[in-house]
Amino acid sequence: MSTKILALAGGVGGAKLALGLSKLLSPEDLTVVVNTGDDEEFHGLHVSPDLDTVMYTLSGLANPETGWGLQGETFNALERLTAYGADTWFGLGDKDLATHIMRTMMLAQGKSLSEVTLALSRALGIAHEIAPMTDDRVRTIVETEIGPLAFQDYFVKHRCEPKATSISFDGGAQAEPSAGFVQALETSDAMVYCPSNPYLSVAPILEVGDVREKVRHFPGIRIAVSPIVGGQALKGPAAKLMQEFGIEPSCVDVAKQYVGLCDCFVIDEVDRNQAKEIEALGMRVEVCNTVMVTEDDKIDLGRRIIDFVAG
């Protein structure tokens, strides 16, 4: 019997588990829904960093050092733009630019972000479905000590340094989930929160229209993988944000973000002693290696999740 899985993903961490799942599930059994709150316009081009990270990872083209962007990249166009006086703090490579040009062109022709993502995915040889969380415009805004910052300004330009006070999702309430997302919510046996930042990558997905309510009433099993291991974020600013929000970074506090939205919480072996505290929140706890370095690590974690869903 096949198990249909809906995976919610942000950038690098989410893409790793999505890859593991894609190696185990047939295309009709996996939909990866991706955060687009980080999307931004650079040099007139629509950039969807998390969609691209997932697409490049699933097609085997991602830069292994950074996790985002393409391998074997050059930056000639960016150098030219710098010479012309453009603001070039966001590292867009020559090959990567082709993706953004295609996306921008197709959007200008009236295609939806879902249609563009499908076309780009197929061109990259990806058989599994990757869908944006919404075709509407939602933008993650980080309120900081130096004022509100658009996500990439906060993340890349300011290297997450300004102290954050809150996060909001401009356009989230008015947005509608993409058709692929709605269909996956209605037909999947399980929903997986990949180990992505709960505040910056998963929260925007939950803030789209009535998604949070839909997830609350999701009939299948909902499983979250903690992006915090041993009190540290595997990548990015999750632990720093938790501290700034007055929370001691731990997998328990990530689990608290998912109360009512998650049935099973997966933590790393090093956090085994926190299992009881998470169980007290009303979730079943699975303990395994969650640190995905090699492709085998990604597949092993994917298998663990599929086995759990299959019971």
Ramachandran bin of 209, using left for φ above 0, alpha for ψ from -120 to 50, beta for the remaining angles: left
Q: How far is the CB of 35 from ligand FO1 (least distance, A)?
A: 7
Q: How far is the CB of 55 from ligand FO1 (least distance, A)?
A: 9
Hey, is 121 helix, strand or coil? Answer: helix
Give the full edge-to-edge strand order of the sheet including 164-170. Answer: 147-150, 139-144, 164-170
The residues of the shown chain that bind ligand FO1, judged by CB under 6 A, are 10-11, 38, 47, 49-50, 52-53, 68-69, 90-92, 96, 152, 155-156, 201
Q: Is the dihedral of CA 210, 134, 261, 255 positive or negative?
A: negative
**Biggest CA-to-CA distance, the chain:** 59
CA distance 170 to 145: 19
**Which C-beta is closer to ligand FO1: that of 94 or that of 176?**
94
**Which C-beta is closer to ligand FO1: that of 236 or that of 283?**
236
Nearest to 220 by CA among 52, 5, 73: 5
Q: How far is the CB of 14 from ligand FO1 (least distance, A)?
A: 8
**Which C-beta is closer to ligand FO1: that of 160 or that of 309?**
160
**Which C-beta is closer to ligand FO1: that of 91 or that of 220?**
91
Q: How far is the CB of 9 from ligand FO1 (least distance, A)?
A: 9
Nearest to 216 by CA among 180, 185, 256: 185
Q: How far is the CB of 26 from ligand FO1 (least distance, A)?
A: 27
Q: How far is the CB of 89 from ligand FO1 (least distance, A)?
A: 7
CA distance 304 to 18: 13
Hey, is 60 helix, strand or coil? Answer: coil
Q: How far is the CB of 236 from ligand FO1 (least distance, A)?
A: 7
All residues at 6 or more sequence positions from 38 whose CB lies less than 8 Å from its CB, including other chains: 10, 11, 48, 49, 50, 140, 151, 152, 155, 200, 201
Both tokens of residue 309? 């869903």
Q: How far is the CB of 151 from ligand FO1 (least distance, A)?
A: 7
**Which C-beta is closer to ligand FO1: that of 92 or that of 242?**
92
**Can you count the helices (H) and strands (E) in the chain?**
13, 14
Counting Cβ atoms within 10 Å, is residue 122 exposed (0-12), middle (13-18) or buried (19+)?
exposed
**Which C-beta is closer to ligand FO1: that of 68 or that of 181?**
68
**Which C-beta is closer to ligand FO1: that of 69 or that of 302?**
69
Residue of minimal Cβ distance to ligand FO1: 11
**Which C-beta is closer to ligand FO1: that of 24 or that of 156?**
156
